[in-house]
Copies of this chain bind each other. A is one copy, B any other.
């Protein structure tokens, strides 16, 4: 019997989307890894009544553990600690030693801001050191302490109160999970395995057909919790299962692999980004250079998300203007005049030009119409030409006609490019 947990994300800026919530999903993954079943995440604004209502609902749903994020800052609209105190019927008390530790942190920090108002700093400090009586303190990473607040009696959930900035929440998690109330609240948790396979280049309905076929072939897929989703142009099949169902899961994956040999690219959780990085790193090492028009640097930015990209990424050219295509990537002006900037010929010339300009092993060229303007009947918005060149004549070229917004077109193109390079380097068909 696995215990259940809920998450409450607070902050009007998160509720209304000015800030994207990273904490709910991250905590969800941590809970899953611990074998704790995560039921739901409630996002509420900075209103105490709404935070309290969310805590009470999750408690009524039978959650033995509730994680909150946000609302621990120094300003008066940050009220989570107080609300959790009220929820657990614990009075708020000033923790003197904590107050001292926060003071020391603030003295270091405010050295950067010589003109800072000391009265406001002191008020914020006092607020952040005032916590529900009996709470376990999680040492501040920034200036806000986290809290583990158990129920006053034997009934009700333990509440883990974490700060909003992911850079503070993430390092605090391990300490929270080791506290006695956290462990007690998740006692009897059952490990649940989660595995993922990824496919690229087929519609989602094909997966539905494969699931039915697997079932017809005698694989008991109802004993697995399978979800499929389309993400940045790739299909992800995520399966959760009890550890003793491993053999069944393996059968299922083998069935999917046999059905979709051409499009399945990952069964070990690896992303296309990781696979491409491994291929470029080698041995043998293969260097890469880019010339991007419509993606405007997104392919380069995505490659450099990974530390160590400097080993294989020689550089990139953002050739947004025709002038840049000619000056930086050496695309002949006549070629652009003859075929247009968005054409197979220019994509190939960009790939060749990127490779040549930096003496790289692999060259990539991307040119397209991301919209919303700039389209025509012959070359509508969403038309993108991608080319990859290995220099020895070996190359891959794809014409895309992508639906969606400017952002979607640019992002999807980036994913396609990573798959094209990976397939070309590993000798697979495009």
Please report A residues at the B interface, Cβ cutoff 8 Å.
11-22, 24-26, 28-29, 32, 38-46, 50, 53-54, 57, 61, 73-77, 110, 113, 116-117, 119-121, 123-124, 165, 167, 202-209, 211-212, 226-231, 236, 238, 290, 292, 295-301, 303-305, 307-310, 313-321, 323-324, 327-328, 357-358, 370-373, 403-408, 410
Other A-B pairs beyond A300-B318, A314-B324, 20, CB < 8 Å: A11-B227, A12-B227, A16-B38, A17-B28, A18-B229, A39-B45, A39-B50, A75-B228, A116-B206, A120-B209, A167-B403, A167-B408, A295-B304, A296-B300, A296-B304, A296-B316, A310-B321, A315-B320, A316-B318, A328-B328
A-B contact pairs, 20 of them (CB 8 A): A11-B229, A12-B227, A13-B231, A15-B40, A17-B29, A110-B203, A113-B203, A120-B205, A295-B301, A296-B300, A296-B301, A296-B305, A296-B316, A297-B301, A307-B372, A307-B373, A313-B318, A315-B319, A315-B324, A315-B328
Q: Report whether B41 and A358 are in contact in the complex, using a CB–CB cutoff of 8 Å.
A: no
Tallying the copies of this chain within the complex gives 2
Q: Report whether A297 and B314 are in contact in the complex, using a CB–CB cutoff of 8 Å.
A: no
With a 10 A CB-CB cut-off, give which of A32, A50, A301, A308 has the most chain B CB atoms. A301
Q: Report whether B206 and A120 are in contact in the complex, using a CB–CB cutoff of 8 Å.
A: yes
Q: Report whether A303 and B307 are in contact in the complex, using a CB–CB cutoff of 8 Å.
A: no
**In angstroms, how far is the closest chain B Cβ from the Cβ of A218?**
18
Q: Report whether A16 and B25 are in contact in the complex, using a CB–CB cutoff of 8 Å.
A: yes
**In angstroms, how far is the closest chain B Cβ from the Cβ of A39?**
6
Q: Report whether A299 and B297 are in contact in the complex, using a CB–CB cutoff of 8 Å.
A: yes
- Main secondary structure, interface of A, reads mixed
Name A14's closest neighbour in chain B (CB-CB).
B25
Query: B residues within 8 A CB of A22?
Result: 17
Given A43-B40, A205-B74; A324-B358 close (CB under 8 Å): yes
**In angstroms, how far is the closest chain B Cβ from the Cβ of A241?**
14
Q: Report whether A304 and B316 are in contact in the complex, using a CB–CB cutoff of 8 Å.
A: no
Determine the distance from Cα of A319 to Cα of B318 in the docked complex, in whole angstroms.
11
Q: Report whether A205 and B296 are in contact in the complex, using a CB–CB cutoff of 8 Å.
A: no
Name A113's closest neighbour in chain B (CB-CB).
B203
Q: Report whether A204 and B321 are in contact in the complex, using a CB–CB cutoff of 8 Å.
A: no
Query: B residues within 8 A CB of A372?
Result: 307
Determine the distance from Cα of A406 to Cα of B310 in the docked complex, in whole angstroms.
14
Determine the distance from Cα of A244 to Cα of B208 in the docked complex, in whole angstroms.
54
Name A31's closest neighbour in chain B (CB-CB).
B16
The 8 closest A-B pairs by CB, nearest first: A17-B25, A296-B304, A315-B324, A297-B297, A297-B300, A316-B318, A120-B209, A13-B229
Q: Report whether A309 and B328 are in contact in the complex, using a CB–CB cutoff of 8 Å.
A: no
Q: Which of B14, B73, B207, B297 contacts A204 (CB 8 A)?
A: B73
Given A16-B32, A24-B43, A236-B18; A314-B303 close (CB under 8 Å): no
Q: Report whether A204 and B40 are in contact in the complex, using a CB–CB cutoff of 8 Å.
A: no
Given A41-B15, A300-B296; A211-B320 close (CB under 8 Å): no
Determine the distance from Cα of A304 to Cα of B408 in the docked complex, in whole angstroms.
13
**In angstroms, how far is the closest chain B Cβ from the Cβ of A220?**
15
Determine the distance from Cα of A24 to Cα of B73 in the docked complex, in whole angstroms.
24
Q: Report whether B26 and A17 are in contact in the complex, using a CB–CB cutoff of 8 Å.
A: yes
Q: Report whether A226 and B77 are in contact in the complex, using a CB–CB cutoff of 8 Å.
A: yes
Q: Report whether A75 and B208 are in contact in the complex, using a CB–CB cutoff of 8 Å.
A: yes
Q: Report whether B29 and A24 are in contact in the complex, using a CB–CB cutoff of 8 Å.
A: no
Q: Report whether A205 and B124 are in contact in the complex, using a CB–CB cutoff of 8 Å.
A: yes
Q: Report whether A39 and B44 are in contact in the complex, using a CB–CB cutoff of 8 Å.
A: yes
Q: Report whether A17 and B24 are in contact in the complex, using a CB–CB cutoff of 8 Å.
A: yes
**In angstroms, how far is the closest chain B Cβ from the Cβ of A113?**
6
